[in-house]
């Protein structure tokens, strides 16, 4: 299985009295995400199943990815992908619900994605800085009882733009 970890793009600032989950993606966030996905497509990203955090900025990022990849399906929402979830919760979902998918793109947040990258690579102490709109490809067998992935590449907006 190819697992793509996509951090949401630049979002509007948090406003007092408004929930963090309601922050929208900015025009710049959409643009940089589109650039990264176009380069990822050239690196082999084709038709993944897209699963996203339910937060607005992550869903908007997932929709930009779907559009750039020519996908018609709406991204699937998963509470396992909210910012303060755990890598174990994401793995449990990958292992039980998505293990037969050849490719899956997970649109989410920090600090979860940095922790998840290390966890999927069987190196929980590994520190990975996942910039906004960045995508990481990790290959793994989601049918195993524990993750033991292989890092294939990481694309940041700076590389893509």
The model's pLDDT over 32-44, given as tens digits with 9 standing for 90+, comes to 999 999 999 999 9
Residue 143's pLDDT is: 86
DSSP symbol at 54: S
Burial (CB < 10 A; 0-12, 13-18, 19+), residue 41, is: middle
Low-confidence spans in the chain with pLDDT less than 50: none
The pLDDT value given to residue 161: 82
29 conformational bin, left if phi > 0, alpha if psi -120 to 50, beta if neither: alpha
Q: What is the pLDDT of residue 142?
A: 87
**Interatomic CA distance for residues 43 and 75, integer angstroms:** 22
pLDDT of amino acid 136? 98
Tokens found for residue 31: 């643009």
> What architecture is domain 2-160?
3-Layer(aba) Sandwich (3.40)
Q: In 13-146, which residue ranges form alpha helices assigned H by DSSP?
A: 27-42, 56-68, 87-97, 112-120
Domain limits of the chain? 2-160
Handedness of CA 69, 78, 123, 132 (dihedral sign): positive
Q: What is the pTM of this model?
A: 0.96
pLDDT of residue 38: 98
Query: 85-105 burial string, b = 16+ CB within 10 Å, else e?
Result: bebebbbebbbebbeebebbb
Residue-level pLDDT at 24 = 95
């Amino acid at each position: 299985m190819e697992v793509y970890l996509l951090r949401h793009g630049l979002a509007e600032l948090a406003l007092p009295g408004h929930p963090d989950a309601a922050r929208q993606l900015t025009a710049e966030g959409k643009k940089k995400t589109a650039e990264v996905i176009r380069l990822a497509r050239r690196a082999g990203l084709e038709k993944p199943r897209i699963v996203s955090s339910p937060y607005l900025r992550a869903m908007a990022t997932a929709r930009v990815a779907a559009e750039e990849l020519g996908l018609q399906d709406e991204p699937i929402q998963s509470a396992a992908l909210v910012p303060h979830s755990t890598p174990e919760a994401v793995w449990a979902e990958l292992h039980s619900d998505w293990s037969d998918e050849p490719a899956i793109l997970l649109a989410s947040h920090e600090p979860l994605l940095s922790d998840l990258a290390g966890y999927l690579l069987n190196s929980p102490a590994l520190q990975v800085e996942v910039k906004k709109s960045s995508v990481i490809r990790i290959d793994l067998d989601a049918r195993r009882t524990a993750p033991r992935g292989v890092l294939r590449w990481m694309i940041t907006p700076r590389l893509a733009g």
